[in-house]
Amino acid sequence: MDTEGTSGAARERGVRDGTGARGAAVPHPARPVTPPPRPAHAPMAPPGTGAEVFLRWLRTPRPAATPGVWRFGYVPRPEEEPEVTPTRQLFSGALIALLAGWLLWSLLWNGYLGWYWMWPYYVLTPEAWIKPETGGEEVAGAIASYAYYLLVGGGIMYAAGRGGRWPEIWRRFIRPALRAARPAAPERAPAPEEDPATWPQLREAGAEAAAERLGADARAGLMRDVDHARIARAWQGVKRGRHSLAAFTAAVAKEGAAACPHPSGTRDLPARAARHDLATAQVRIGSAADDERNPYAYRGVGLALGPDLIGTSLLAVGPPGSGKTGSVVWPLAESLCLGALAGRAAVVVVGAAGAGLGGQDTYDVVVRVGSPDSVYDLDLYGGSTDPDEAAAVLAEALVGDLADPHPGGDSRRSTTVLAQLLGPYHAVHGRFPSVPELRRLLDGAPDALGALRTALTDAGHHAMLRELDARERQLGHPGDVGAVLADRVALLDRPAFASFFDTSGATRPFSLRALDHPVRVRVDLPERGHADASRILARLVLAQFTASVAVREDRSLFACLVLDDATGTITPQAVRGIQRLRSANAGAVLTLRTLDDVPRPLRSPLLGAVGCRMALSGLTPWDGQDFAEVWGKEWTEARDVTDRQIIAETPAGKALHAVRRVITGRAPTARAVTVRQVERERWSASDLAHAVPPGHAVLSLTTVRGDHAPPLLVDLRG
């Protein structure tokens, strides 16, 4: 029994479409024919070692919360901040109330205020108890009198406690200390029908054998969070009718926690750098600062991201060293890799080699473009067999960053030029041209065009001959964009990439159409000496991703592209593609050093296309202005305080003011407070540039269902 999205039929389909049995590319023949060996599954702890930890994790409550809140063990807070009396004022008031109550009781007891307070006692008490004649009457009278004293004294102390806020002192200082001092009571296991470790949903559906085996593995310490999430995902496939209940029950009863494996056989990552909760698919990235600019309900609360937020895409902007990769990109990539092992996500991580995006053991496919020891290749045409589709994606990668690649030209004309060559070539050869062949065709080399024309004539492809004729008529014209395309293709036609982008059929490079599977992919871009080629490849991957996720068969699998540096990749088509990801159960994570790396006309559309926006410390005021505009304004309460000096008119008043001035060092004043409602920016450009501490960021969130969280000051180190 395979987990949903990783069935045997899916793996066979992966072999046919060039993705391999693990959702990975077929190795290049000039490189090692097999990837580095890896264990069938991660080593498990001895039985019983992690049982308590796992069960405690599984049984921890995860209440519903506002967007971005770390739900693991979350305790909801009130929406509004309660009024808290300052500690010094609280204790001084309590002491004064105690002394006042003590003084009042002393005055009553010693008769300085008369004995009228004893009148209820004399009225309600029998005469024999007040003037006893026997021992029994004397005892009864003593008991009654002391009870009355206790009642009056208790009333005085109750009034003093209410006036001195003694209950608040108990709640804030005494009771927390007594919890701290008392040993924690042992946790009690919940009832079997409420215990998630017993898998009650399986028992209700008739899979008792599977539930018994999973419960036994959990109690024996043989199950971990990835196993639980993976089997829960497979159970969702059973409920949706994708798998049979009998096959699921048999597989789980036989394999236990190891059932429904990921195609790689891996059951966990080699190591984890962030804190994850696979029950909610969240990864914790920090905590909301205890700052007055944050809503009270968020202050001090853990902040986390998951597919419900990343499904609206995330843009993080900050200078080098602000923590984009270590605090945002890698935790998210790690969370998505765990989600892939659980069979519910597919992730493609793109960045420079050595950028700190995890080791090779973290991924199923590692494409190291330009590296001779790379095991996997990259499909230049995205696995497409449609010339028009391949031309559109390739044109976006080659000239998408140019608003006008040539006077009178645009991206649509570039797509047309490429289609006029890719269509005839594919009709003759059954494949698309390699990089050197495409460069010669775009340059208009007579021998290349002549050979293609002869092959089309011999095969009788008259429609394709008309396409080629149109291309030849445009050669050399002032409005022809073929020369610009040829120059861009020349950046990929370098010796460092000679063994890559093969289309001869000897290899099947990795294609992003493999995102139908829970695959983990990392693409390392060549940075040194090939910066322009790296940007072309980054645009190529982004274009292929947005095109591939829209035509997936299984959209229940969350797909995400993590682009560590999106410089040079933001184009009008890319912005439109990002807007469409939400409806395809996909998302993108993009980082930028500055918004200046995005053309000015595209900055506002980009900020509007993504649902989650993050401004890290060190932002420039110009970048801060763009964020301030997209976050808008809010109504807030402004308090104007005015101090007016008090002028004494009587000699006694003047003397009192003189004494007060000697004690306080200031003249007596009367304070006037004016409260008014004003509209202010949530975060101004100046605040974003100068008031965000190092290691912090301002983050706004939007879920795929449309729920919003206001811009929050987040401590990424918390």
341-373, pLDDT tens digit by residue?
Answer: 999 999 999 998 888 898 899 999 999 998 888
φ, ψ of residue 623 to 5 degrees: the values are -65, -40
- How many residues belong to the chain? 718
In a domain, 432, yes or no: yes
Cα–Cα distance, 446 to 438 (Å, whole number): 13
* Mean pLDDT, range 178-187, rounded to an integer: 68
Residue 680 pLDDT more than 70? Answer: yes
Residues 237 and 214 in one domain: yes
pLDDT at 652: 81
* Mean pLDDT, range 263-268, rounded to an integer: 93
Residues 218 and 154 in one domain: no
Distance of alpha carbon 128 from its chain centroid, rounded?
80
- Which residue, of 258, 275, 310, is where some domain finishes? 258
Give the lowest-confidence range in 32-41, 409-418, 473-482, 595-604: 32-41
CA neighbor of 497 nearest in space, from 368, 390, 353, 352: 368
In a domain, 447, yes or no: yes
* Mean pLDDT, range 240-258, rounded to an integer: 92
Domain that holds residue 30: 8-79+191-258
Residues 156 and 105 in one domain: yes
* Mean pLDDT, range 607-631, rounded to an integer: 95
Alpha helices in 374-445 (DSSP H): 387-399, 411-429, 435-443
Residues 97 and 66 in one domain: no
pLDDT at 183: 66
Residues 59 and 200 in one domain: yes
pLDDT at 186: 61
Cα–Cα distance, 617 to 689 (Å, whole number): 7
Residue 653 pLDDT more than 90? Answer: no
Residue 403 pLDDT more than 70? Answer: no
Residues 57 and 145 in one domain: no
pLDDT at 187: 63
Residue 488 pLDDT more than 50? Answer: yes
pLDDT at 114: 83
> How confident is the model over 27-65, as pLDDT tens digits?
333 333 233 333 333 333 333 357 889 999 999 999 999
pLDDT at 35: 33
* Mean pLDDT, range 88-114, rounded to an integer: 88
- Which residue, of 454, 486, 507, is where some domain finishes? 507
The pLDDT > 90 percentage for the chain reads 56
In a domain, 170, yes or no: no
- Which residue, of 126, 149, 164, is where some domain finishes? 164
Residue 195 pLDDT more than 80? Answer: yes
Vertex 659 angle, CA 654 and 660, to 5°: 95
Instruction: Give the confidence band of 718 by pLDDT, cuts at 50, 70, 90.
Output: confident
Distance of alpha carbon 83 from its chain centroid, rounded?
33
pLDDT at 90: 85
Residues 111 and 75 in one domain: no
In a domain, 494, yes or no: yes
pLDDT, the chain, mean? 86
pLDDT at 41: 35
In a domain, 124, yes or no: yes
Residues 398 and 477 in one domain: yes
**pTM for the whole structure:** 0.81
Residues 94 and 48 in one domain: no
Residue 10 pLDDT more than 60? Answer: no
Residues 497 and 408 in one domain: yes
Q: How many domains does the chain have?
A: 4
